[in-house]
Amino acid sequence: MSTFRTRAREALSASLEISGAWSRALRAGALAPNAYLGPIVKRAARVGDPPVNSTPHRVVYTRGSMRLLRFEPTVRRHATPILFVYSLINRYYILDFLPGRSLIEFMRDQGYDVYAIDWGTPGALEEQMNWDEFLGGMMRSAVQWTLKVSGAEDLTMYGYCMGGTMALAYAALYPQGLRNFVAQATPVDFHEGGIFHTWTRPEYFDVDAMVDAHGNVPIDLMEAGFSMMAPIQRLTKWLEVFRRIDDPEFVTTFLAMERWAADNVPFPGEVYRQYIKDCYQENNFYEGRMVVGGRKVDLGQITCPLLTLIAENDTIAPPPSSTALDGKVGSVDKTTLRFPVGHIGLSTSSKGPRMIWPEVARWIAAHSAALPG
Amino acid sequence: MTQPRPPKNLLTHLVTGIGYLTDPKSPPGKLFNRFETATSKVFDRLARSHTFLRIAGKGLNLGFMVRRSVTAGAEAWLHAWQAPTLGDVQAMRTQLRQLGDRLEVTQTQLELALDALARVEADLRATPRLPETP
């Protein structure tokens, strides 16, 4: 009888918890399946919230919505710091995913003084900002403050996804202070950009109408676009979690990934307009015709050592789009590493700490300055 | 992750049941799998279809136009009542931001100047002083 009572009480508390979460999600107009299925899986798997973004850090500089974060190593082994530049669309913490599966934590433990740009949530102020203000203003300040705080003369710039594209544009315009460049899953030749290139063609998509109507591009619109990439798999992948509900590590990693995927921020309006036109529609970035602050972005101006990381199953930055970088830069020292993972897998898969990151850390170490003394 | 976990609850059993029914290895799951593959193919074709993309694009544009007209209408109405609109507030915010940026630039320049002064001072202290000539 008492077992029945316990079970009934548990069922009641579960239904209250889940219906509460659903009503919050509905009120917020959430589209991501995580908002509705996440609470069910958490309760069924008996796991807590995934401990994402747990590497200790402190904010060393802010400008507008941007924050520069420092992940200081216990024992510093390299004089050259690493500055991570992430995309404006998602949150940077995919690079600081879970304890033991965090690229930032891994690099910090290798003795690097690690910094990351968190672009934050854009508001009305960021809506009117263009590439020049993001690159020549925010990123330039972030580079200067990284060098200042770490006491270094130059740094390794590590760009990921769209952050890689932005970082490449920055490196072409302001090569001073950059010792190395790592481009991870970075789209470069946008006409090789897969389905996104098709969807953003001017005959289908009027970016001016979108930015004029909304200002910053709302999360819902971006989410709807991502959902269209694989709408059925977006739901059916949850069934795999149902089957592995007794594997807490798998469930925690899955929930962490879904939480990150649902935690998007609006895309700053004017930057989005230029990004879609200059990159996806006209391929000006790749062809050297993109103009930022009155200057042409010429990738040939990048002469520092370059490491390109390719995810072989990448659908967001397909390999041909990323490998095109090699032929465009002025660098002599160029290395390309390929891994059998997807776009996000480079930063979150279990292969990361075992197979991918040690190789990356070795390359950066070989190209970094030694500590004096 | 190695902490002891509470026992399985009803929801765990329910979820495991759904998992079994949709497992490609189970008989009902095979059927579901076939349905999933077929629907995925349809959506994949749709996502690349010229006609669908043109219609979807037109629908999106219509939505943007309506939104822009509604916003413009609301702003015009507010202007008629001489009330500040969102656009006015944003323009003020931009001016404030520019002021903030200028202040920040001055602060950075001051910090750099102080750093340079400190370096000059340290150099002067390190240089041995020449005896003063009468």
Reported as a single tens digit per residue, the pLDDT across A81-133 is 999 999 998 888 889 999 999 999 999 999 999 999 999 888 877 888 899 99
Is the model's pLDDT at A1 over the cut of 60?
no
pLDDT over 90 percentage in chain A: 68
Of residues B6, B18, B97, nearest to A239 (C-beta): B18
Is the model's pLDDT at B1 over the cut of 60?
no
Is the model's pLDDT at A64 over the cut of 60?
yes
Active-site entry in A57, A161, A189, A304: A161
Highest mean pLDDT among A5-14, A30-39, B27-36: B27-36
A314 is catalytic: yes
Q: Assign B127 a pLDDT band (cuts: 50, 70, 90).
A: confident
Report the pLDDT value the prediction gives residue A30, as an integer from 0 to 100.
81
Contact B10 A10 (CB under 8 A): yes
Chain-centre distance for alpha carbon A76:
25
Report the pLDDT value the prediction gives residue B129, as an integer from 0 to 100.
66
Average pLDDT of chain B, as a whole number: 84
Contact A213 B64 (CB under 8 A): yes
Q: What is the mean pLDDT of residues A299-305?
A: 97
- CA A37 to CA A242: how far, in whole Å? 10
Report the pLDDT value the prediction gives residue A124, as an integer from 0 to 100.
79
Average pLDDT of chain A, as a whole number: 92
Contact B22 A242 (CB under 8 A): yes
A305: exposed, middle or buried (C-beta count within 10 Å: 0-12, 13-18, 19+)?
Answer: buried
Q: What is the mean pLDDT of residues B33-57?
A: 91
- CA A300 to CA A128: how far, in whole Å? 29
Is the model's pLDDT at B30 over the cut of 60?
yes
Report the pLDDT value the prediction gives residue B111, as an integer from 0 to 100.
80
Q: What is the dihedral of CA A41, A44, A47, A50, to 10 degrees?
A: 0
Q: Is A217 helix (H, G, I), strand (E, B) or coil?
A: strand
Contact A11 B10 (CB under 8 A): yes
Q: Assign B99 a pLDDT band (cuts: 50, 70, 90).
A: confident
Report the pLDDT value the prediction gives residue B133, as an integer from 0 to 100.
60
Report the pLDDT value the prediction gives residue B131, as an integer from 0 to 100.
65
DSSP letter, residue A371 = P
Report the pLDDT value the prediction gives residue A223, as an integer from 0 to 100.
80
Report the pLDDT value the prediction gives residue A29, as an integer from 0 to 100.
79
Tokens matching residue A195: 């389905």
The residue of A43, A232, A281 whose CB has the most chain B CBs within 10 angstroms, and thus the best one to mutate to test that interface, is: A232
Q: How far is B20 from chain A (nearest CA, A)?
A: 7
Is the model's pLDDT at A301 over the cut of 90?
yes
Is the model's pLDDT at A317 over the cut of 80?
yes
The dotted CATH code for A58-194+300-366 is 3.40.50.1820
**Counts of helices then strands in chain A (DSSP H, E):** 18, 10
Report the pLDDT value the prediction gives residue A46, as an integer from 0 to 100.
86
Report the pLDDT value the prediction gives residue B125, as an integer from 0 to 100.
87
- The dihedrals phi and psi of A295, each to the nearest 5 degrees, come to -120, 145
Is the model's pLDDT at A6 over the cut of 90?
no
Q: Assign A194 a pLDDT band (cuts: 50, 70, 90).
A: confident
Given a contact cutoff of 8 angstroms between Cβ atoms, the answer to whether A126 and A66 are in contact is no
Q: Is A62 helix (H, G, I), strand (E, B) or coil?
A: strand
- Under 8 Å CB pairs connecting chains A and B tally to 115
Q: What is the mean pLDDT of residues A148-175?
A: 96
Is the model's pLDDT at B6 over the cut of 80?
no
For chain A, which residues make up each domain, given as ranges? 2-50+227-262, 58-194+300-366
Q: What is the mean pLDDT of residues A216-236?
A: 84
Is the model's pLDDT at A57 over the cut of 50?
yes
Active-site entry in A132, A263, A326, A343: A343
Is the model's pLDDT at A284 over the cut of 60?
yes
Contact A242 B68 (CB under 8 A): no
Report the pLDDT value the prediction gives residue A332, as an integer from 0 to 100.
96
DSSP letter, residue A133 = I
Secondary element (H or E) of residue A319: helix A319-323
With beta carbons under 8 A apart, name residues in chain A contacting B24: none
Name the β-bridge partners of A156: A82, A180
Is the model's pLDDT at B2 over the cut of 60?
no
Tokens matching residue A58: 């402190």
Decide if A231 touches B, using CB distance below 8 A: yes
Q: What is the mean pLDDT of residues A228-252?
A: 90
Q: Assign B63 a pLDDT band (cuts: 50, 70, 90).
A: very high
